[in-house]
Amino acid sequence: MYALFRRLLIVALIAGSACAGGCYHIKTGGPVTPPTGSTFSPGQPTPTPSGNCQSLDTTRTTIIVEVAPDINPTSVPTYGQIFGYAPAPPSGITLVSAVVHASTADVVQFWNISNSGEYSAVGLGSSGFPPVHHTFPSGTQNPVSSVIGSGTWSTGRLGVNSTSGCFSQDFTLSAGTWYFGDYDFYNLTNNRDVMIVTGGAQPRRVRTTSIILPARR
């Protein structure tokens, strides 16, 4: 009897030593309690990052620039091929790339109309499109600035909303010819465009309603 008691005591001591630093303590009829300092969180999935997804500013915005990979490329004099951007028409959408013409009185928002992923517009300066393998300024995968001009500016990656699309922050405009492209796809598929901003003209009428996107990929 003494020998059996001694063996049981040894087994209990070994089990207790093995669990001293990190075993969960299971309570009958209750939840599992993690050890102190654990980040275990049952039933709470890891948050998924989402892109910049704002609404149309119906009090200020006068120009909307569509952003999507299925806006077809176009070759234009002086600037060459542009792809993935187009000024939105007064109603509906267009799927043909075009140069953006604006005045310093306008306010611009970019609008991701794609259901396939996040797309962006990042300033490339005023001296032309840089060669591919271009390195964008640090942080421009996120929204930067609210002025399109000689400084660094970016919409950041615009999120996906299959009903109404995702808008960027509002941008005011400096006079000049401004080149821009997609943070992720400029070097892969040449997503790029040009915005020509002149001074003195009156702005277009403020866009007061957003558009319900038609079913697209």
pLDDT band at 54; cut points 50, 70, 90: very high
pLDDT (tens digit per residue) in 194-211:
999 999 777 677 766 666
CA angle 160, 165, 170 (to 5 degrees): 105
Domain 63-198 has CATH 2.60.40.420: yes
Name the pairing type of β-strands 107-112 and 176-181. unpaired
Q: Please report the pLDDT score of residue 214 as a whole number.
A: 61
Q: Tokens at residue 39, please?
A: 């980040």
Q: Please report the pLDDT score of residue 208 as a whole number.
A: 65
Q: Please report the pLDDT score of residue 216 as a whole number.
A: 55
- Give the residue extent of every domain in the chain: 63-198
* pLDDT exceeds cutoff 90 at 110: yes
Nearest partner of 117 among 188, 170, 172, 180, judged by Cα: 188
What pTM does this model have? Answer: 0.75
